[in-house]
Structure 1
């Protein structure tokens, strides 16, 4: 997918990143699943992702 509007956050963060295409965008609009998320940072670099 090209962009995701995420109102859950938490455990969905890495799953969302994995679903994004190259140059994809993730818009975080809520943190119902919690404000802390773990991620593999190389995913950001390899796919040139934008998170807002």
Structure 2
């Protein structure tokens, strides 16, 4: 953990139509398009956050 700079949020999305129908199920094709996997908008410095005390909502 001494190498962690900070934390951010990413929305891991997949273009299923590209992944399954057009490219035979290749994982890379469904994950590599522009706009898929938006991140941010900020990074919280590791010194400002206790990673053992995080609560995730879905």
TM-score normalised according to structure 1 size = 0.22
TM-score normalised according to structure 2 size = 0.21
- Could you say which structure has the larger radius of gyration? 2
